[in-house]
Structure 1
Amino acid sequence: KAYGRLSVMAQYYCQIIPVLEVPPTAFTPAPKVESAVVRLVPHAVMPYPVKELRVLSRITTEAFNQRRKTSRNSLGNSFTVEVLTELGIDPAMRAENISVEQYCKLANYISDNAPPKES
């Protein structure tokens, strides 16, 4: 649960640096989760640039909307098992086990293989 679509998109744009752990007792009423303060430092150079940000956004939404499903099932409308394997993604992995770099590879694959837009 700690790694989701927001985590992927934040890591795409920034380096995430933990600053401070915040215990549940710091809030009223106390939540049943641990909290943290983090520092977001924008990347000077994107480590995994994508060609179309909207594609990355769509893929992460598809993957995390059904986080208990395997990537074969949650991303099955966009990728075959062969393509996932070719891109270094085990089709049996769940959304939270796919790295930011792998999500960027998926987005670039779609951008590179999309049919040309009609005018």
Structure 2
Amino acid sequence: MPGVLTGDNTGIEEVNITACYGGGLPCYNDLALTRQTTGVPAAGQGDSGGPVISSATDEGRYAFGVISGIRDYSKSCTGDADGRECSKYVLYAPISEFFNAGWGLNYYK
């Protein structure tokens, strides 16, 4: 699962997670929690809203969802660190929730 600024992540830990980010923000339901299996930070501050996609194959890549947040963060980041807090645990909204809510998608090349 590539993060926008950070790198690859693999391994779904839990599904149907609810996350409340505080500061008056709403809680979000039906998220998935992933863990980078080697322990390397997989996403960080600024990656939210970025794509969760599969690794490249001969058939291309597949969309899994949208990065929502991180858990158990630290100052240890990979990629574009720039003082951000990052984590090996990443919460994302599965793309199936998006389509099940009746939304669609247009792709223009």
After TM superposition, the score normalised by the length of structure 1 is: 0.23
Q: Which of the pair has more CA radius of gyration?
A: 1
More strand by share: 2
More helix by share: 1
After TM superposition, the score normalised by the length of structure 2 is: 0.24
